């Protein structure tokens, strides 16, 4: 019992909300004189605003903070925090704990830009907590500082999935003009080859879905090259026949749905779960991933149907398993029919990370307009920008006609490096500093 925490932080109920607002009145109206009568505003009336409070072991509210979307429009993953208050005379530490809890809550909610206008005298505390000062502002005729919490979700995903490729692959033979592409032209032919492995833990956990995805990811790779699929080869490791049958069931179902045959492969029993598939396609004029140049608009064409795969909320969007063969083939053939200057299908690095790969291969940087990105209902900006979608293609040049998939211009290639997000207020936040893979210009 002696080690029990002196306070806990939780979301405010109705009674706690009343106490929190009373603490604000006492602090900001009566003691500091920042407001006349009350400090309530539109944010307090917004049903999306969240209030976190700190309670002691007796349940007494010791302080609180509010956070939520910046305006009454669509939630674009841009939130602000504010009205941080601690009961007068209570020991230090509660305010900092409330700030940390607000940051954690915002990131869990899929926020990619989180800011607060902080009283100038509190800037030092926020800086110690990791916040970055942006610029001085005035609130209620009092000096404040606009501060931003650095959210590294996009950069962390890109680093974890792609950053080691350059050093690992150095010296291996590639095809000039297609280094780092989703597929590779086979020299001396019109064949395109692509190969992807499924994460072993996913094969073990959800074998049927792993089988489906092994087809999906490889055919999307061919689609990004503008290639017509010919067939598939699979390499499966399984502990026994029963487990292998579940993986192959998903693979077989996807093969039929897409109308692309499995030509052969290899299956081994008595080994840990593993699955890799090679896809073969054909085009005499492959579309490179690095064919863009500064000044060109970037377009996202994505299938917004479906929903989160059960058990993978926020990580894998399933828009393909309920589509017809006609719909699936319309999406697969879109790049080949449109012939854009560059194309990349959104993969493990997520939307922003994949855009960084396209820009890196093109020898430039990129800006992504957050408010213009096609996004399905039910997906936060943070999740959508970092998940693996069923079908999502980034292109530069001619727009795609991809059947059920929706498309929109949502960014541009620029001189420089890395990826920046551009917000409705014109502010830009850098989410990827430089190249994603280290493979360099294609």
CB atoms within 10 A of CB 56: 15
Q: Mean pLDDT, to the nearest integer, of 346-356?
A: 95
CA distance linking residue 340 with residue 231, whole number of Å: 24
Task: State the pLDDT confidence band at 177, using cuts at 50, 70 and 90.
Answer: confident
Name 257's Cβ contacts closer than 8 Å, sequence gap at least 6. 320, 321, 323, 324, 325, 328
Tokens of 216: 């999906």
**pLDDT, position 140:** 86
CB atoms within 10 A of CB 22: 13
Closest CA relative to residue 70, chosen from 174, 141, 162, 148: 148
Task: State the pLDDT confidence band at 167, using cuts at 50, 70 and 90.
Answer: confident
CB neighbour burial string for 136-172, b if at least 16 within 10 angstroms, e if fewer: eeeeeeeebbbbbbebebbbebbeebbbebbeeeeee
Give the phi and the psi of residue 314 in degrees, each rounded to 5: 85, -5
CB 95 within 8 A of CB 87: no
Task: State the pLDDT confidence band at 393, using cuts at 50, 70 and 90.
Answer: very high
**pLDDT, position 71:** 83
**pLDDT, position 319:** 96
DSSP 258-307: HT--EEEEEEEESS--EEEEEEEEE-SSPPPTT---TT-EEEEEE---SE
CA distance linking residue 396 with residue 50, whole number of Å: 40
The answer on pLDDT for 256 being more than 70 is: yes
DSSP reduced 3-state for 241: helix
**pLDDT, position 5:** 78
Cα→Cα distances 430→280, 345, 423, Å? 37, 22, 11
State the chain's mean pLDDT as an integer: 95
The answer on pLDDT for 1 being more than 60 is: no
pLDDT tens digits, 14-67? 999 999 999 999 999 999 999 999 999 999 999 999 999 999 999 999 999 999
Name 295's Cβ contacts closer than 8 Å, sequence gap at least 6. 412, 413, 414
Residue whose structure tokens are 């993953």: 77
The answer on pLDDT for 265 being more than 60 is: yes
Q: State the Rg of the chain over Cα.
A: 25
The answer to whether the pTM exceeds 0.85 is yes
In the β-sheet with 228-238, what is the strand arrangement from edge to edge? 184-185, 191-198, 274-282, 228-238, 262-269
DSSP reduced 3-state for 370: helix
pLDDT tens digits, 196-253? 999 999 999 999 999 999 999 999 999 999 999 999 999 999 999 999 999 999 999 9
Q: Whole-angstrom distance between the N-terminal and C-terminal Cα of the chain?
A: 62
């Amino acid at each position: 019992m002696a080690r029990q925490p002196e306070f806990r932080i939780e979301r405010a109920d109705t009674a706690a909300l009343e106490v929190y607002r009373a603490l604000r009145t006492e602090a900001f109206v009566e003691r500091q004189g920042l407001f006349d009568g009350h400090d309530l505003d539109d944010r307090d009336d917004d049903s999306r605003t969240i209030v976190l409070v700190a309670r002691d072991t007796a349940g007494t509210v010791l302080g609180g903070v509010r956070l939520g979307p910046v305006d009454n429009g669509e939630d674009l993953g841009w939130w602000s925090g504010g009205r941080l208050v601690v009961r007068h005379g209570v020991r230090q530490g509660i305010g900092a704990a409330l700030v940390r809890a607000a940051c954690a809550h915002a990131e869990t909610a899929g926020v990619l830009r989180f800011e607060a206008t902080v009283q100038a005298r509190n800037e030092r505390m926020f800086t110690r907590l990791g916040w970055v000062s942006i610029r001085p502002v005035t609130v209620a005729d009092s000096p404040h500082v606009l501060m931003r919490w650095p959210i590294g979700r996009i950069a962390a995903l890109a680093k974890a999935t792609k950053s080691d490729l350059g050093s690992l692959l150095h010296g291996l033979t590639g095809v000039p003009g297609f280094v780092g592409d989703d597929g590779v032209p086979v020299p001396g032919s019109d064949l395109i080859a692509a190969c992807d492995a499924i994460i072993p833990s996913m094969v073990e956990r959800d074998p049927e879905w792993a089988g489906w995805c092994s087809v999906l990811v490889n055919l999307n790779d061919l689609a990004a090259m503008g290639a017509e699929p010919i067939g598939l080869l699979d390499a499966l490791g399984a502990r026994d026949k029963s487990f292998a049958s579940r993986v192959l069931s998903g693979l077989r179902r996807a093969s039929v749905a897409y109308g692309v045959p499995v030509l052969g492969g290899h299956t081994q029993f008595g080994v840990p779960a593993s699955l890799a598939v090679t896809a073969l396609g054909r085009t005499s004029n492959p579309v490179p991933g690095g064919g863009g140049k500064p000044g060109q608009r970037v377009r996202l064409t994505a299938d917004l149907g479906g929903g989160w795969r059960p058990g993978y909320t926020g990580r894998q969007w399933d828009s393909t398993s309920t589509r017809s063969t006609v719909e699936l083939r319309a999406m697969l053939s879109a790049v080949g029919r449109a012939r854009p200057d560059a194309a990349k299908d959104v993969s493990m690095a997520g939307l922003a990370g994949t855009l960084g790969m396209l820009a890196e291969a093109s020898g430039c940087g990129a800006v992504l307009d957050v408010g213009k990105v096609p996004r399905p209902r039910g997906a936060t900006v943070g999740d959508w920008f970092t998940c693996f979608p069923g079908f999502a293609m980034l292109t530069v040049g001619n727009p795609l006609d991809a059947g059920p998939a929706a498309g929109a211009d949502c960014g541009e290639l620029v001189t420089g490096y890395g990826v920046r997000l551009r917000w409705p207020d014109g502010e830009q936040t850098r989410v990827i500093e430089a190249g994603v893979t280290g493979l360099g210009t294609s």
